[in-house]
Structure 1
């Protein structure tokens, strides 16, 4: 630096002589740095604040390619300790090519690395003087001296536009000075025929005399690069105009092939664009990206989001990474994170982390206007330079808060499931206890028929309650997995209501609750709806109303048709009001959540899974309907359900179904032979008892393979019906059914599935396997009798 700190007088003398001073430091492990005085920076057209690392790159990268080998040798000789000099062309940002002459050598007193010191002077005028034509008798010498690098050189008199051309190499047709009296017009005419169309406007402007001379008023040279079509390829050329030092009335215009130079520039530009594109593409979600020298904490800022300037005014002007972090931690880093942030970003910690892992993350919170914003610094090691790291700041607020919400939701779900398991543990054990207890009592009082029957009746009620609990859990699981589909059938709403009333009324009467059912304003009673699911909705809501209404209270069900905006559909409203215990506003927000109950059954004395209303809500949603509730603790609740239903165009179909249903005749099962395929002995015993009590002759098979052998041995006419379990060892019910159908393709003995697989998809699988019907366990005697009536014929 001493050579750049000369006295002002010395610098003034050197500057007036056009001499600039420079110094280059080439220290191991650091990027090259170049320092220059104002005179040299002014010559190079660079601002005084140019960073040393950038100055060295700019100085080297703008050396004209044709001079670069000599320039590199100049630097190499100085590095080896020899004084050296070089003359070379340098691409000035605004003036185009200028010529510089450098003198310099190595400072051997510098021990931290290599320091080169020297001076530069501009010799553009001297070099271009060689190309200028001062006297006519010097043309040949100048042509021999300068012509090797040019296709054509023109010496132009700007007073009369006359010119002399020499050393034409054929890129364009030679201008004929005798026949072409105006250089500018003649050159325009010649170039227009060969210049690439996309470049022509720029060339035309350049060869305009007034524009060219105006340009030369401000600069010693002006130029334009363009492309010729030569042998079917585009080749870069340059037209350059320069003042002559010997005359104010003459200029020199040169035409030279610069294809290699332009292609090299294009490649450098493309590479730079690719680098910037990569940086930009990889850092799109980074608000700030800096390149940090962790030895000095100096930095190069690559990307900066104006948002940071709003959060921390002046942050963009910081040029030291340590200061950048200090300002950040003292302004908007959350107070609770400041100590950990400082420890995590300590230089030795960062360098050690990126050395081991290559990438290192520091997470922290910003506190802006009282809101916490989650942020992260991503540190990446520069593998090509020791102690250099890329640091990117970016927001991880959205994903962090999303993860936190997911964790919170999962925690709430876990709490709900824990509460569910607690409740279910109690609620399942309660009917189980009753079943076991009453069964034991019945055994002990077997001789007291009345007592035994009473115990068994209560045990049966408990078993039915237990089954409803299990069905609720399974139903909810299937709805959530998307396995439940609506089965739309033609329905008469009046008939459906009449079927429901006795059952709902019976529920209320058992608790001494007054029950009232009203139906009015039904203009379209014939609709398409999944009436089983619709009934499930009503039963769930009404049974809840009855359950939580004390003795002496009332439950009112009101069904009506309200105006619908949907063409071809009616909108049906079901209002269920009770005078029960009501619900708190807080609980109403979670009323339709899974496993939700305001009180456990141990407190409320009301048993259930807490799934009934959740199932109801899912079914109503599937039907594209709505369910709303109004409730007040100690007063009661009112549920309003609205369901759109497609109106039947042919209501006679429902009447026909009703007629067919009402004409079912009673059937005697006496003498019919049924094969029961069942691997569980207890289930087999129950089925046999039911069937034999109805007069059926029962034979059994322990699995599907035994059943197939029985049919093979006795033939398809031996059995009147087969009750087939599904899940069995050796051969399951599906496989056995397919084997029987294949064995007797012309004879179809009725096969009814009798399985614990109770869902719609299970029923569908049974029919696809070739069965005629599907009954779910536990066996309901009435359903079994209906199935036998259908398939057993006289």
Structure 2
């Protein structure tokens, strides 16, 4: 029989949690309930949604906000707490409970994972024991929980009930003969020695602890042991009442959950590592394809056919890059690594650029593209421009792709802030006159790798654009929704809403980039070192820099890079991260560990864009990070930023006054 995989283990464990008799409650640091099982809902007489909107002190009346903060800190310190309390159900009735909570972390998140057991029966039993010996013996014999009477002197067993005999797997007489010491697991025998001494001395009334016991058949069983003192009229402890609950299955479920969690985390790490490696392996050759096609396109001697072929190469490379980026974005979303990069930007310019881009695509299919912007919408806003651009490109791209005749509309409106609020809520509506989306597909299209019938018919894309866009929208505090009747000609309508903060203007001047061909005159003699093990990528970057007018040398690994740096002292090093002999990170650390090296600019050039690689290389001393595949403009902007280099624009070569670009 094959072993269960991580997902199956998680599913089985989830099923066990939801069907266990004890109440399971998971609590966040701020006191909010984040998970409850079916037993908790039934015991407290609340629906699950009601409980998940409540804080722990709303069902635990003996606990306030301040007391919760104290309990949370104690839990963080100790890792596990066991105590008794009371829960209040929906009707107001109080239920005594025994609670065991564990401090559990997952990434940056921490939770108190608690199991609450109704101890009303145990309380009732304890009360009955104190009131009447005769009634005690009756209850003792019939109790469903294992019980025993122990002598204070030496913990000798005086009386055992049938439930305990069943749990320990031997008769009461055999248990008396062997003694508690010989049925307790050797590693647990002295675990509660101090608590036992305090109980017998009258310093505490009871305590609860989990212990392992060796059954009559040699198997190990977990028992939750509760010991309570029995006192005479003078208050002297004369005996101890032991209650043992079988928690073996609960312990096994917890261990299986931990194993499943570890397996899932290991699988996730393996997936992230695989994606990181695949990203590097795909982006490195793609860098050469896009880079050399860009360089070749600048050759003025090309024929029209050659230009068209280069355009097709570049377009295909861009399409492949888009597919790679979609998969990587989805991986980042699943790993919770997507973050917002908010900044001030010109919203009107963004809309205009998209309109120009998609007017050409629409015209190629004989479609009309109408773009309407409410004049009251703020021109300059503060938000994540990159993610907004990607979402609108996905929506407009789909609309043009799946519309064969008619038109595509983009309407931009906004809800102005009320009162003293400054935040606007922008609404982008993309309508088309295509085939529409069947009602059954409306929810499925937001699932990764799922396409509606029209997408399958087109046989294009990965089915990731809409799921990524909705995740981006929700990350920004908005949402992406769809409406369609699924009727040809009536098309579909996607509505994207996001909150933005209006700003009075841009902090810096918006500069229109031109094609840059060489360094401006009167520049220092810049020495640049290109360190790259991939021959094509090394030649591409070296050729690009040489054409711009820089003095360029190359190295094939980190060790060669250190040698070139020592003998040549370049102003800036383009450092690939993954290389044989000595990788880029180690070479950077060596260079930056010296006074001369601290004056040398090191820019990481890497195809690895998954996970924390960017942060790691910056921590190693790199001054900047450029992702493969890069564009000439990326390289030029980086040089201007770090060397204050100035460049002559293309129109200067035609006898027109030179335009310069600098940092």
TM-score by structure 1 length?
0.43
Equivalent residue in structure 2 for 1:772, among 617, 620, 623: 623
Task: Please state if 1:619 is matched with 2:469.
Answer: no
Q: Which residue does the alignment assign to 1:474?
A: 328
SS of 1:676 mapped into structure 2: strand
Q: Which residue does the alignment assign to 1:695?
A: 549
Equivalent residue in structure 2 for 1:511, among 323, 348, 365: 365
- Is contact 1:555-1:579 (8 Å) kept? yes
Q: Which residue does the alignment assign to 2:209?
A: none
Equivalent residue in structure 2 for 1:783, among 631, 634, 639: 634
Q: Distance in 2 between matches of 1:569 and 1:773?
A: 33
Question: 1:271-670 alignment to 2 at 5 Å?
Answer: 272=136, 450-550=304-404, 552-564=405-417, 567-599=421-453, 604-633=457-486, 634=488, 635-648=490-503, 651-652=504-505, 654=506, 656-659=507-510, 661=511, 668-669=518-519
SS of 2:616 mapped into structure 1: helix
Question: 1:31-430 alignment to 2 at 5 Å?
Answer: 269=133, 272=136
Deviations 1:416-465 (A, max 9, x none): x9xxxxxxxxxx9xxx9xx99xx9xx9xxxx9955444333322211211
- Is contact 1:624-1:643 (8 Å) kept? yes
Q: Distance in 2 between matches of 1:708 and 1:505?
A: 51
Residues 461 and 280 from structure 1, CA distance in 2 versus in 1: closer, same or farther, beyond 3 angstroms? Answer: same
- Is contact 2:370-2:409 (8 Å) kept? yes
Deviations 1:28-87 (A, max 9, x none): xxxxxxxxxxxxxxxxxxxxxxxxxxxxxxxxxxxxxxxxxxxxxxxxxxxxxxxxxxxx
- Is contact 2:532-2:556 (8 Å) kept? yes
Q: Which residue does the alignment assign to 1:714?
A: 568
> How many angstroms does 1:530 deviate by?
0.6
Deviations 1:97-117 (A, max 9, x none): xxxxxxxxxxxxxxxxxxxxx
Q: Which residue does the alignment assign to 1:734?
A: 585
How many residues align structurally?
A: 394
Residues 743 and 630 from structure 1, CA distance in 2 versus in 1: closer, same or farther, beyond 3 angstroms? Answer: same
Q: Which residue does the alignment assign to 1:724?
A: 575
Q: Which residue does the alignment assign to 1:793?
A: 645
- Is contact 1:561-1:573 (8 Å) kept? yes
> How many angstroms does 1:546 deviate by?
0.9
- Is contact 2:406-2:433 (8 Å) kept? yes
Q: Distance in 2 between matches of 1:282 and 1:541?
A: 65
Deviations 1:180-221 (A, max 9, x none): xxxxxxxxxxxxxxxxxxxxxxxxxxxxxxxxxxxxxxxxxx
Q: Which residue does the alignment assign to 2:180?
A: none
Q: Distance in 2 between matches of 1:616 and 1:609?
A: 13
- Is contact 1:519-1:560 (8 Å) kept? yes
Q: Distance in 1 between matches of 2:632 and 2:621?
A: 24
SS of 1:729 mapped into structure 2: coil
- Is contact 1:676-1:684 (8 Å) kept? yes
Residues 663 and 481 from structure 1, CA distance in 2 versus in 1: closer, same or farther, beyond 3 angstroms? Answer: closer
Extract unaligned runs of 5+ from structure 2.
Answer: 1-128, 148-160, 167-215, 222-243, 265-270, 272-281, 647-663
Residues 587 and 740 from structure 1, CA distance in 2 versus in 1: closer, same or farther, beyond 3 angstroms? Answer: same
SS of 1:591 mapped into structure 2: helix
Q: Distance in 1 between matches of 2:498 and 2:142?
A: 56
Deviations 1:654-708 (A, max 9, x none): 1x4135x359996733864321000111221222232233333321111122212
Higher RCO, Cα 8 Å, sep 6+: 2
SS of 1:758 mapped into structure 2: coil
> How many angstroms does 1:767 deviate by?
3.1
Residues 627 and 745 from structure 1, CA distance in 2 versus in 1: closer, same or farther, beyond 3 angstroms? Answer: same
**CA RMSD of superposed structures (Å):** 4.9
- Is contact 1:674-1:696 (8 Å) kept? yes
- Is contact 2:402-2:454 (8 Å) kept? no
Residues 276 and 706 from structure 1, CA distance in 2 versus in 1: closer, same or farther, beyond 3 angstroms? Answer: farther
SS of 1:483 mapped into structure 2: coil
Residues 775 and 567 from structure 1, CA distance in 2 versus in 1: closer, same or farther, beyond 3 angstroms? Answer: same
- Is contact 1:672-1:792 (8 Å) kept? no
Extract unaligned runs of 5+ from structure 1.
Answer: 1-264, 284-288, 295-353, 360-389, 411-416, 418-427
- Is contact 2:426-2:497 (8 Å) kept? yes
TM-score by structure 2 length?
0.51
Q: Distance in 2 between matches of 1:293 and 1:723?
A: 75
- Is contact 1:721-1:792 (8 Å) kept? no
- Is contact 2:530-2:538 (8 Å) kept? yes
- Is contact 1:674-1:697 (8 Å) kept? yes
Q: Which residue does the alignment assign to 2:607?
A: 756
Q: Distance in 1 between matches of 2:578 and 2:632?
A: 21
SS of 1:657 mapped into structure 2: coil
Q: Which residue does the alignment assign to 2:535?
A: 681
**Which has the higher Rg, Structure 1 or Structure 2?**
1
Q: Distance in 1 between matches of 2:315 and 2:620?
A: 35
Residues 747 and 761 from structure 1, CA distance in 2 versus in 1: closer, same or farther, beyond 3 angstroms? Answer: closer
Q: Which residue does the alignment assign to 2:188?
A: none
SS of 2:445 mapped into structure 1: coil
- Is contact 1:290-1:391 (8 Å) kept? no
- Is contact 1:704-1:733 (8 Å) kept? yes
SS of 1:556 mapped into structure 2: strand
Q: Which residue does the alignment assign to 1:205?
A: none
Q: Distance in 2 between matches of 1:493 and 1:728?
A: 42
Residues 641 and 280 from structure 1, CA distance in 2 versus in 1: closer, same or farther, beyond 3 angstroms? Answer: farther
